[in-house]
């Protein structure tokens, strides 16, 4: 079950929300014992946060209903306490894989892989949020390496102290490079080169973002993706050519 955080999403229209009575009817087929009191209790425990209409009535989104289904199933099928369910929901909201019945959520396998995603999907790389411990475990790294990479500006924490899929991808690559004796201090030029490439993207995207037209943001995003993709291709081609030259010497 995927339950990404609704942060940043558009506010659902009233037609896309449900009253508590409608939620009860939607859940009763799978959970005959559920009641309005039970739903209100789960709300009071902070497991679901429905909107409030101007009249004060609760309005539940489809996301809220999915959370309720997860909670009710976890209680019924696995007898998990609310404390554990709350931890699972928090991890799910951060984009992690759903937990096994007695396990804990994990990082999706495709996230932050050393090969990286297709460059067309660069905008999707920040959907997963990891704690420091989760980041280190998922990358097969250690605290010392992460701290050193942070010191050289190669890995950065995001909002709330969490790390995104970009940080995971960087850390995984650096773990592999470390096996060849390359330390974080040797990798600083990559950060410098990346910053320069980002600067080129900003030169093109900046004017598009300042356009007072409805399609300005979408044009800027498309241009950013295209330039990023071309930059990756150029960087790869130049490194490949340089390495070939070294091997021919």
pLDDT tens, 18-28?
999 999 999 99
Question: Cα 102 to the chain's mean position, in Å?
Answer: 23
| Residues 165, 25: Cα–Cα separation, whole Å | 38
Residue 106: per-residue pLDDT: 60
* Tokens standing for residue 162: 């969490």
Facing residues of 130 across strands?
A: 163
Do the strands 51-52 and 58-59 form a parallel or antiparallel pair, or are they unpaired? antiparallel
226 has a pLDDT exceeding 80: yes
- Measured over all CA atoms, what is the biggest interatomic distance in the chain, rounded to whole angstroms? 78
Give the DSSP letter string of 132-194.
Answer: HHHHHHHHT--HHHHHHHHHTTSS---GGG-B-HHHHHHHHHHHHHHTTT--HHHHHHHHHHH
pLDDT, tens digit, 9 for 90 and up, residues 51-88: 998 888 999 999 999 999 999 998 888 888 888 888 88
Residue 98: per-residue pLDDT: 57
| Residues 200, 56: Cα–Cα separation, whole Å | 50
Kindly tell me the sign of the dihedral angle through the C-alpha atoms of 28, 32, 36, 39: negative
Kindly tell me the sign of the dihedral angle through the C-alpha atoms of 214, 220, 225, 227: positive
Question: Cα 206 to the chain's mean position, in Å?
Answer: 25
Compute the chain's Rg from CA coordinates.
23
| Residues 3, 94: Cα–Cα separation, whole Å | 9
**Burial of 15 from C-beta contacts in 10 A (0-12 / 13-18 / 19+):** exposed
At residue 58, what are phi and psi to the nearest 5 degrees?
A: -75, 140
Residue 237: per-residue pLDDT: 93
pLDDT, tens digit, 9 for 90 and up, residues 97-132: 655 554 555 655 445 454 444 433 444 444 788 889
Contacts with 35 (C-beta within 8 Å, 6 or more apart), sequence order: 24
pLDDT, tens digit, 9 for 90 and up, residues 2-47: 454 333 333 444 458 999 999 999 999 999 999 999 999 999 999 9
Collapse the DSSP code of 142 into the 3-class scheme (helix H, G, I; strand E, B; otherwise coil) and give the result: coil
* Tokens standing for residue 42: 């789960």
215 has a pLDDT exceeding 90: no
- Specify the DSSP element, H or E, that contains 21: helix 20-28
> What percentage of the chain has pLDDT greater than the value 70?
82
Residue 218: per-residue pLDDT: 85
* Tokens standing for residue 205: 């995207």
Kindly tell me the sign of the dihedral angle through the C-alpha atoms of 20, 21, 25, 28: positive
């Amino acid at each position: 079950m995927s339950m990404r955080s609704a942060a940043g999403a558009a506010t659902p229209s009233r037609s896309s929300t449900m009253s508590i009575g409608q939620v009860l009817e939607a859940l009763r087929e799978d959970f005959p014992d559920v009641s309005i009191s039970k739903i209100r209790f789960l709300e009071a425990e902070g497991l679901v946060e429905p909107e409030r209409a101007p009249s004060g009535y609760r309005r539940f989104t489809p996301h809220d209903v999915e959370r309720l289904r997860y909670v009710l199933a976890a209680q019924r099928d696995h007898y998990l306490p609310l404390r554990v369910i709350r931890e699972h929901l928090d991890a799910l909201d951060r984009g992690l894989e759903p937990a096994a019945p007695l396990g804990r959520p994990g990082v999706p396998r495709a996230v932050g892989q050393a090969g990286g995603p297709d460059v067309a999907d660069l905008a999707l790389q920040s959907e997963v949020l990891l704690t420091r411990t989760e980041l280190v475990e998922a990358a097969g790294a250690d605290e010392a390496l992460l701290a050193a990479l942070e010191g050289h500006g190669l890995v950065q924490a995001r909002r709330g102290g969490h790390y995104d899929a970009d940080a995971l991808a960087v850390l995984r690559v650096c773990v592999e490079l470390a096996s060849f004796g390359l330390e974080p201090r040797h990798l600083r030029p990559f950060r410098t080169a990346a910053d320069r490439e980002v600067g080129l993207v900003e030169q093109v995207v900046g004017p598009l973002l300042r356009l007072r037209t409805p399609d300005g943001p979408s044009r800027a995003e498309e241009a950013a993706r295209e330039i990023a993709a071309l930059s990756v291709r150029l960087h790869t081609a130049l490194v490949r050519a340089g390495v070939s030259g070294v091997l021919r010497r």
